[in-house]
Amino acid sequence: MKKWFLYLALPFALAGCQGEPSEASQKESLETEVMALHDEAMADMSKIYRLRRNLTTLRDSLSAHTADTAVTSLLTRRIAQLEAADEAMMDWMRNYKAPDTLEHQQAMLYLQQENSKMARVKSLMDSTITNAQETYAQYEKK
């Protein structure tokens, strides 16, 4: 009977030993998540620069050859959106501070907020890049 009790109690004893992750590992995990989003967004910065240059060249070329102000206006808007996405990323990077000196709860709250901010920046960059690529593809051959 004692053997059966030991076999039944063993999984619970092992589960109890594993417990919750430490505060340091929780913080490290969340900080890694924030930095992973940052790294993904940084990889898109070259796309933003390239698209902004291409759209500016296209806009200047089209405005010199045609009087279609609607297309020129659209290209100008797309360029401004790319600049805004670029500035959002730069702004996040200027303001981010590693939470090394904060207490655990404060650090976790800060990292959660920064994760949300970075997710919004990444989403803005993705949608802006997509819109700019579509616009460029539509008008580059004209």
Residue 85 maps to a domain: yes
Residue 77 maps to a domain: yes
Residue 15 maps to a domain: no
Q: Which domain holds residue 127?
A: 23-139
- Interatomic CA distance for residues 33 and 118, integer angstroms: 10
- Interatomic CA distance for residues 21 and 84, integer angstroms: 39
Residue 39 maps to a domain: yes
pLDDT per residue of the chain (142 residues) written in tens, 0 to 9: 445 444 445 455 555 455 567 888 899 999 999 999 999 999 999 999 999 999 999 999 988 887 678 999 999 999 999 999 999 999 999 999 999 999 999 999 999 999 999 999 999 999 999 999 999 999 887 6
Angle at 119 between CA 117 and CA 123, to 5 degrees: 120
Q: How many domains does the chain have?
A: 1
What is this structure's pTM? Answer: 0.80
Residue 123 maps to a domain: yes
Q: Are 51 and 84 in contact (CB under 8 A)?
A: no
